[in-house]
Amino acid sequence: MLTVGMQAPNFSLEDTDGNQIQLSDFKGKTVVVYFYPKNNTPGCTLEAQQFRNHLADFKAKNAVVLGITIDTLKRSCNFSDKNELNFPILTDTDGSVCKEYGVWQLKKNYGREYYGIVRTTCIIDANGIITQLFENVRVKNHVEEVLAAL
């Protein structure tokens, strides 16, 4: 389980442009990594659109935004294109990064139990240290909370 103050685990995942993106690529910048359950669902779409709409505010704070999902690359490409996302969406199709970051958890919905991503956002400083964790995120006003934390 990750905690504030620890070194963020490095990862290398493919983005929707076919590039391998590593966390270490952003040394010297603040990185906002948000994990979301599934492309094209109402909450995930709204969250992505809010990050998109505030990207200039993140850039003004020398921060980059990365979205991570376990959805397929094809679905992630369609999602990114459809919503005109201006930041990388990374695909963790084997779930290894989600597990390492502790966001792959047992969930319960209408009496059904299953494993999935628990919506989580990490703020990682320029030295790769986790400075803030938002767990079990509620989408409404979340992006504003992240910006305020920066």
Walking along the chain (150 residues) 10 residues at a time, the average pLDDT comes out as: 93 96 95 96 96 97 97 96 97 96 90 92 97 94 96
Confidence (pLDDT) at 42: 93
- The angle at the Cα of 21, spanning 101 to 84, to the nearest 5 degrees, equals 100
Confidence (pLDDT) at 109: 82
One DSSP character per residue, 63-116 reads EEEEEEESS-HHHHHHHHHHTT--S-EEE-TT-HHHHHTT-EEEEEETTEEEEE
Q: Are 21 and 13 in contact (CB under 8 A)?
A: yes
Report how many domains make up the chain.
1
Has 77 been annotated as catalytic?
no
Confidence (pLDDT) at 141: 93
Is residue 75 in some structural domain?
Answer: yes
The active-site residue, picked from 44, 77, 98, 122, is 44
Domain hosting 52: range is: 27-149
Is residue 9 in some structural domain?
Answer: no
Is residue 20 in some structural domain?
Answer: no
Is residue 6 in some structural domain?
Answer: no
Is residue 22 in some structural domain?
Answer: no
Give the separation between CA 46 and CA 49, rounded to whole angstroms: 5
Is residue 51 in some structural domain?
Answer: yes
| Backbone CA torsion sign across 38, 89, 103, 143 | negative
Tens-digit pLDDT profile for residues 35-59: 999 999 999 999 999 999 999 999 9
Confidence (pLDDT) at 110: 87
- Measured between alpha carbons, how far is residue 67 from residues 42, 45, 46, 55, 111 in Å? 16, 11, 13, 12, 29
Query: Which CATH number fits the domain that encloses residue 125?
Result: 3.40.30.10
One-letter amino acid of 30: T
DSSP-based three-state secondary structure for 22: strand
Is residue 18 in some structural domain?
Answer: no
Reported pTM: 0.94
Is residue 14 in some structural domain?
Answer: no
